């Protein structure tokens, strides 16, 4: 009996074990089936199409669709102009509907305009300010014009309160106007207050007679008409209010974190659409469950340098979106659903950076734009919620790499790239660039045994900026100290924070501390720390009235490579010199404009933006294409072009791209930027310096953090120099010995 | 046939645990051994190159030395102190300590580290009391602090283990010894210690494994690069992982396991489990 029971028990145990083991195959099949199903069903995507208009849109007044199926867009391209464009094919093609503007008085511009579903237009116009600093803003009392669909215009007098003298400085009249199909005109009265103009009340008028129907005090709101229903967005509360068009009273309100221009409401269909950088979403009026319709990652509006503007839902599968670029113009994009296209491109590329870096954002978004067949995922290690510090992030990354799931492209700044190179973690990038097209001296430090596994995409030069007579003498840390000591008492010697000073100096002069054989020189380290302390003491003992009034804000999660150079210090009487990185021809131009010069510190040192490809990448060809793209002349030229969407921090490594950057911009562009372009000698000097660059600055976080942690108490007088140096030496000797 | 069936039946009962241990311990360790003979990416066979690198690495040698030193200092101290306290509790009936001895183990490591920082920081309580300005945690004193911390935290647990062993020794032996005129030390050396042999091997093995856990306090106190005196094996493993030196980690791990096995194995063989060995 006992034997039977134990045999039965054994049998049950074995059965369970075997069933657990046997589950694998079925599980794999299930997984495969599930993946196949997902692949099979994951079709359909909104395809982006840029709609080019013959005229640029600098101010969009209104975009409406009518019951006749016509869409109408009212805008201006420059002050004093007015255009009406129409589309009868859901926004795919637009034709100008000629508008006579002889009703607009001379030197007047349209301050606000709106169009209804029938093609009637209402315009508020004011005289352009004569002060050139005011950039032709409409000032004075506004005039109002109604233009019917046949183009006949008549002036309308709106029943508004009389304007006081001070209101006229910045313009007094109706803004954010909206014209309903029933002829009601809605708008917010703006009047000057203080140094700008502020909203007063919301008004409703009869657009024909100008008679006031109602007015309501709603505070600081934005207005919009959706399907002839009036909505007001209250900024302070992030609330969207539905307003009764008859009385101006509030009907209901919904919490809404989005700007009203980024929303389109279809009350009849009970749908709300909104957009942000991540995509266009559809949701219910309570903004509960949302559905991603247009993936921002595959569209232009997630790209850096673009701002989302007016969103318009033509119908559920067609959207129009105005995107604002850095140049100030608006661009019209159309998104139409295509069920035959995969939801997400089959090819995926993962780009990883430890810290946030807008320069990488730019490269990623430019690559995505040029390669719509690739889905680029950009990961920032420090942005993960579970990551507390850099060490955690690097460990997490290494775990992924070791498991074979690592990213394809690695931005190597702040990562142990030397170790990765030695271990064969990074792939050979020799085929990704032509040596004669780039500054080879910048690539040589990253070559090991003839193979290049990491490449600089951009670089910066550490420098001291200030008066030529001052900075030209600086060729070492000691000479910098001499110049600091020679500064007048009433002027702050350096424009740099205390925390940054030790890191900057250690990074730039590290080659004096670590010899070629890898050993550390205690003497040179002591000398460097002593020099930094003396510089700091000089700054602290300055009798400048600004000595303690500067607040240096730093973002720990931002890659320090991105910190951009502000040359304005050179023009101020507050600082004698600045320590920074020269990062573009614009920076050079600004120094020149401020009658300042620059001197490369620690000759031959540069700070690179470094990228590499994981050896285990399954998408090696796409990853190589990304690196190739980043180093291409075309992309590198965009780092600092006049119509650049964003400011890219760093010089291009491509020779032709740099030459292009040195070209004098157009007169209008120089006027716009208020710049004088430096003479050719300045660029020859720059190129000469670039040719001498051969040593990457020390940017290893372990080294920098060790120096900073031990040096800070010494610089504050809490520790002796010997103690600080001993601590640093001990830690770094261990680190390099590992 | 019956015997073979019996053995097979016994083995089957082991299968679930064995499967788990194989999947989570043996197989991964097998992979570690494999990786110790290959490059980082696991593609190239490097022979004993990694072992050579590890043995000639000054940082590894320092870490091994410190870990060995910590072991040699802490384990005998721990066993001796906990045995002493266990004897007091058992023979002098100090039951109160028995109730509170495990409290230090219940203190979370992070909180403990916080307290040590408060005490031993440059601006901590100890310096303010002694009117000094020594950074205890970043000098060679850190080793002593770590030893004290380890003993404070773990002694209670081993007291309980020793007490278990002491309670297994029959009272009649002590009574017989008293009748024969044996004193306290004689009873200790001739009855208590032999009687605790089975427990001693378990205590020793546990103490040896617990020594490695001191890395938690070490890391929280002093980070990835502490003072040289407390730079342990786990520090170098952690830092090697950060640098993706997987092959060195693997070789180092195999070396550590071998050393650990050599230390522990003799004690397992001689430990036995039967008090009857006392009389053999």
Q: pLDDT tens across A127-152, in order? A: 888 877 767 888 888 999 999 888 88
Do B225 and A735 count as a contact with CB atoms less than 8 A apart?
A: yes
pLDDT of residue A518: 84
| Residue B115: inside a domain | yes
**A719, A722, A734: best mutation site toward chain B, by most B Cβ within 10 Å?**
A734
pLDDT of residue A725: 95
pLDDT of residue A568: 62
Residue B227: CATH number of its domain: 1.10.3720.10
| Residue B278: inside a domain | no
Q: Which of A17, A423, A734 sits opposite B245 (nearest CB)?
A: A423
In terms of phi and psi (left: phi > 0; alpha: psi -120 to 50; beta: otherwise), the region of A432 is alpha
pLDDT of residue A23: 43
DSSP annotation of B188: I
Q: Which residues of chain A make contact with B241, given a CB cutoff of 8 A?
A: 395, 398
Whether the per-residue pLDDT at A30 is higher than 50: the answer is: no
Do B244 and A615 count as a contact with CB atoms less than 8 A apart?
A: no
pLDDT of residue A192: 60
**Burial per residue of A590-618, b for 16 or more beta-carbon CB atoms within 10 angstroms, e otherwise:** bbbbbebbbbbbbeebbbbbbbbbbbbbe
Count other Cβ atoms within 10 Å, centred on residue A564: 17
pLDDT of residue A731: 93
pLDDT of residue A649: 82
Whether the per-residue pLDDT at A684 is higher than 90: the answer is: yes
Which carries the bigger pLDDT value, residue A280 or residue B99?
A280
Percent of chain A scored above 70 by pLDDT? Answer: 87
| Residue B25: inside a domain | no
Do A738 and B12 count as a contact with CB atoms less than 8 A apart?
A: no
pLDDT of residue B280: 38
Domain range enclosing B166: 46-269
Mean of pLDDT values over A461-466: 90
Q: Tell me the pLDDT of chain B (280 aa) as tens digits.
A: 677 777 788 888 888 999 999 999 999 999 999 999 998 888 889 999 999 999 999 999 999 999 999 999 999 999 999 999 999 888 887 778 888 888 888 899 889 888 988 998 888 899 999 988 888 888 888 999 999 999 999 999 999 999 999 988 998 989 999 999 988 889 899 999 999 988 888 899 899 888 888 888 888 888 889 999 999 999 999 999 999 999 999 999 999 999 988 888 877 655 444 444 443 3
Please tell me the number of Cα atoms within 13 Å of A33 on its side-chain side. Answer: 6
Please tell me the number of Cα atoms within 13 Å of A435 on its side-chain side. Answer: 9
Query: A557: burial class by Cβ within 10 Å (0-12, 13-18, 19+)?
Result: exposed
Q: Which of A168, A82, A78 is nearest to A124 (CA)?
A: A82
pLDDT per residue over A327-367, tens digit each? Answer: 678 889 999 999 988 888 888 999 999 998 888 988 998 89
pLDDT of residue A473: 86
Do B241 and A6 count as a contact with CB atoms less than 8 A apart?
A: no
pLDDT per residue over A176-233, tens digit each? Answer: 889 999 999 999 987 765 556 667 789 999 998 999 999 998 888 888 888 888 999 8
Alpha carbon distance A205, A179 (integer Å)? 10
pLDDT per residue over A74-95, tens digit each? Answer: 999 888 899 999 999 999 999 9
**A311 close to A321: Cβ distance less than 8 angstroms:** yes
B80's CB contacts (< 8 A; 6+ apart) are none
Structure confidence at residue A235 as a pLDDT band (50, 70, 90): confident
Q: Which residues of chain B make contact with A615, given a CB cutoff of 8 A?
A: 41
pLDDT of residue A666: 83
| Residue B129: inside a domain | yes
Ordered structural domains, chain A, with CATH: 100-256 (2.40.128.630), 457-614+648-653+675-736 (3.40.190)
pLDDT of residue A569: 64
Q: Which residues of chain A make contact with B228, given a CB cutoff of 8 A?
A: 730, 734
Alpha carbon distance A203, B235 (integer Å)? 71
In terms of phi and psi (left: phi > 0; alpha: psi -120 to 50; beta: otherwise), the region of A449 is left
Q: Which residues of chain A make contact with B240, given a CB cutoff of 8 A?
A: 738
Whether the per-residue pLDDT at A26 is higher than 80: the answer is: no
Whether the per-residue pLDDT at A408 is higher than 90: the answer is: yes
| Residue B108: inside a domain | yes
Q: Which residues of chain B make contact with A395, given a CB cutoff of 8 A?
A: 241-242
Structure tokens at B3: 């015997």
Alpha carbon distance A375, A359 (integer Å)? 19
pLDDT per residue over A95-124, tens digit each? Answer: 998 888 888 888 999 999 999 988 899 999
Q: Which of A608, A358, A624 is nearest to A459 (CA)?
A: A608
Hey, CA dihedral for A123, A126, A129, A130, is it positive or negative? positive
Shortest alpha-carbon distance between residue B171 and chain A (Å): 39
pLDDT per residue over A542-587, tens digit each? Answer: 877 766 665 555 566 666 666 655 666 665 677 888 888 898 888 8
Alpha carbon distance A604, A608 (integer Å)? 12
Structure tokens at B165: 């062993």
SS3 A731: helix
pLDDT of residue B80: 94
Shortest alpha-carbon distance between residue A388 and chain B (Å): 14
Do A17 and B39 count as a contact with CB atoms less than 8 A apart?
A: no
Structure tokens at A394: 């690097």
pLDDT of residue A425: 92
Query: A472: burial class by Cβ within 10 Å (0-12, 13-18, 19+)?
Result: middle
Q: Complex ipTM, two decimals?
A: 0.84
Q: Which of A398, A416, A706 sits opposite B225 (nearest CB)?
A: A706
Alpha carbon distance A676, A664 (integer Å)? 9
Hey, CA dihedral for B196, B197, B201, B202, is it positive or negative? negative
pLDDT of residue B24: 94
| Residue B239: inside a domain | yes
Alpha carbon distance A77, A84 (integer Å)? 11
pLDDT of residue A557: 63
| Residue B22: inside a domain | no
Q: Which residues of chain B make contact with A734, given a CB cutoff of 8 A?
A: 59, 62, 225, 228, 231
- Residue A343 β-bridge partners: none
Alpha carbon distance A729, A229 (integer Å)? 72
Q: Which residues of A touch B (CB under 8 A)?
A: 6, 10, 13-14, 17, 391, 394-395, 398, 401-402, 416, 419-420, 423-425, 615-616, 702, 706, 713, 718, 727, 730-731, 734-735, 737-738
Hey, CA dihedral for A632, A640, A333, A85, is it positive or negative? negative
For chain A, what is the largest distance between any 2 Cα atoms, rounded to a whole number of angstroms? 112
**A391 close to B242: Cβ distance less than 8 angstroms:** yes
What is each CA distance from B53 to B40, B224, B249, in whole angstroms?
Answer: 13, 21, 11
| Residue B54: inside a domain | yes
**A301 close to A48: Cβ distance less than 8 angstroms:** no
| H/E element, B196 | none
What is each CA distance from A7 to A21, A50, B6, B12, B13, in whole angstroms?
Answer: 21, 75, 11, 11, 11
pLDDT of residue A263: 83
Q: Which residues of chain A make contact with B41, given a CB cutoff of 8 A?
A: 423-425, 615-616
Q: Which residues of chain B make contact with A416, given a CB cutoff of 8 A?
A: 242-244
- Judge if pTM exceeds 0.90: no
- DSSP assignment of B214-259 equals THHHHHHHH-SS--GGG--HHHHHHHHHHTT-HHHHHHHHHHHHHH
Do B39 and A394 count as a contact with CB atoms less than 8 A apart?
A: no
Domains contained in chain B, number: 1
Structure tokens at B141: 């004193």
């Amino acid at each position: 009996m006992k034997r039977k029971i134990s045999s039965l028990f054994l049998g049950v145990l074995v059965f369970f074990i075997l069933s657990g083991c046997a589950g694998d195959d079925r599980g794999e099949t299930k997984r495969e089936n599930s993946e196949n199903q997902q692949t099979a069903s994951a079709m359909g995507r909104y395809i982006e199409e840029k709609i080019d208009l013959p005229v640029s849109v600098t101010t969009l007044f209104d975009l409406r669709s009518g019951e006749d199926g016509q869409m109408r867009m009212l805008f201006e391209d420059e002050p004093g102009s007015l255009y009406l464009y129409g589309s009868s094919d859901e926004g795919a093609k637009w034709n100008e509907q000629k508008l006579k503007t002889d009703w607009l008085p001379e030197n007047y511009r349209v301050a606000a305009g709106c169009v209804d579903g029938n093609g009637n237009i209402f315009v508020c116009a004011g005289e352009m300010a004569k002060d050139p600093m005011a950039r032709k803003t409409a000032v004075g009392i506004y005039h109002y014009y109604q233009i019917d669909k046949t183009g006949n215009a008549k002036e309308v007098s709106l029943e508004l309160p009389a304007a006081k003298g001070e209101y006229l400085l910045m313009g007094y009249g109706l803004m954010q106007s909206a014209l309903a199909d029933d002829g009601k005109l809605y708008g917010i009265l703006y009047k000057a207050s203080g140094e700008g103009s502020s909203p007063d009340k919301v008004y409703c008028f009869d657009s024909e007679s100008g008679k006031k129907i109602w007015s309501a005090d709603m505070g600081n709101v934005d207005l919009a008409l959706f399907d002839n229903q009036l909505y007001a967005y209250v900024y302070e509360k992030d609330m969207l209010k539905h307003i009764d068009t008859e009385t101006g009273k509030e009907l209901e309100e919904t919490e809404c974190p989005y700007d009203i221009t980024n929303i389109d409401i279809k009350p009849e269909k009970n749908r709300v659409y909104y957009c942000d950088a991540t995509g266009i979403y559809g949701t219910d009026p309570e903004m509960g469950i949302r559905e991603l319709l247009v993936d921002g990652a595959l569209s232009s509006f997630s790209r850096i340098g673009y701002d989302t503007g007016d969103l318009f839902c033509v119908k559920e599968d067609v959207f129009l979106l105005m995107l604002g670029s850095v140049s100030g113009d608006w661009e019209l994009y159309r998104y139409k659903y295509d069920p035959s296209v995969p939801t997400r491109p089959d090819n995926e590329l993962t780009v990883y950076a430890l810290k946030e870096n807008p320069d990488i954002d730019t490269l990623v978004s430019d690559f995505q734009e040029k390669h719509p067949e690739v889905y680029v995922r950009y990961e920032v290690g420090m942005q993960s919620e579970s990551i507390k510090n850099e060490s955690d992030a690097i460990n997490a990354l290494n775990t992924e790499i070791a498991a074979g799931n690592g990213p394809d492209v690695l931005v190597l700044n702040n990562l142990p790239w030397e170790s990765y190179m030695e271990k064969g973690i990074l792939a050979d990038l020799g085929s990704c660039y032509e040596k004669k097209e780039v500054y080879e001296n910048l690539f040589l430090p990253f070559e090991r045994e003839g193979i290049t596994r990491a490449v600089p995409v951009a670089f910066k030069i550490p420098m001291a900026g200030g008066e030529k007579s001052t900075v030209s003498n600086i060729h070492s840390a000691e000479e910098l100290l001499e110049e600091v000591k020679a500064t007048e008492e009433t002027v702050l010697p350096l424009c740099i924070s205390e925390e940054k000073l030790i890191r900057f100096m250690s990074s730039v002069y590290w080659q004096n501390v670590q010899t070629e054989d890898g050993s550390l020189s205690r003497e040179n380290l002591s000398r460097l720390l002593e020099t930094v302390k003396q510089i700091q003491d000089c700054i602290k003992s300055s009798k400048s009235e600004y000595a303690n009034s500067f607040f240096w804000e730093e973002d720990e999660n931002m890659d320090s490579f991105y910190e951009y150079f502000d040359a304005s210090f050179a023009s101020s009487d507050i600082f004698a010199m600045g320590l920074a990185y020269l990062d573009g021809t614009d920076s050079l131009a600004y120094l020149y404009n401020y009658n300042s010069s620059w001197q490369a510190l620690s000759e031959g040192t540069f700070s690179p933006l470094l990228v590499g490809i994981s050896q285990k990448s399954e998408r090696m060809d796409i990853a190589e294409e990304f690196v190739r793209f980043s180093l291409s002349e075309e992309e590198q030229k965009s780092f600092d072009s006049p119509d650049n969407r964003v400011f890219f921090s760093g010089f291009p490594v491509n020779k032709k791209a740099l030459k292009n950057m040195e070209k004098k911009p157009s007169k209008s562009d120089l006027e716009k930027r208020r710049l004088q372009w430096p003479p050719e000698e300045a660029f020859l000097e720059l190129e000469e310096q670039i040719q001498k660059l051969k040593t990457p600055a020390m940017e290893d976080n372990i080294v920098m953090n060790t120096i900073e942690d031990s040096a800070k108490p010494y610089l504050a007088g809490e520790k002796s120099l010997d103690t600080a140096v001993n601590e640093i030496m001990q830690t770094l000797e261990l680190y390099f010995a590992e | 046939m019956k015997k073979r069936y019996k053995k097979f039946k016994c083995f089957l009962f082991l299968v679930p645990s064995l499967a788990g241990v194989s999947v989570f311990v043996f197989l991964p360790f097998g992979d570690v051994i494999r990786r110790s003979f290959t490059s980082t990416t696991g593609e190239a066979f490097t022979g004993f190159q990694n072992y050579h690198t590890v043995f000639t690495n000054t940082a590894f040698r320092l870490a091994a030395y410190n870990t060995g030193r910590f072991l040699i200092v802490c384990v005998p101290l721990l066993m001796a102190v906990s045995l002493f306290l266990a004897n007091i509790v058992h023979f002098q009936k100090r039951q109160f300590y028995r109730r509170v001895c495990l409290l230090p183990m219940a203190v979370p490591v992070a909180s403990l580290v916080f307290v040590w920082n408060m005490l031993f920081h440059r601006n901590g309580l100890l310096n303010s009391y002694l009117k000094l300005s020594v950074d205890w945690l970043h000098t060679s004193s850190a080793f002593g602090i770590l030893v004290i911390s380890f003993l404070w935290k773990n002694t209670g647990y081993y007291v309980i283990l020793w007490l278990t062993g002491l309670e297994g020794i029959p009272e009649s032996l002590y009574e017989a010894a008293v009748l024969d005129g044996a004193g306290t030390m004689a009873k200790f050396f001739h009855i208590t210690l032999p009687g605790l042999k089975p427990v001693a091997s378990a205590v020793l093995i546990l103490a040896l494994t617990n020594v490695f856990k001191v890395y938690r306090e070490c890391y929280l106190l002093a980070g990835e690069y502490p003072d040289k005196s407390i730079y342990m094996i786990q520090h170098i493993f952690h830092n090697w992982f950060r640098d993706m030196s997987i092959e060195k980690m693997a070789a180092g791990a195999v070396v550590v396991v071998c050393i650990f096995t050599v230390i522990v194995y003799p004690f397992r063989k001689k430990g036995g489990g039967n008090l009857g060995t006392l009389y053999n």
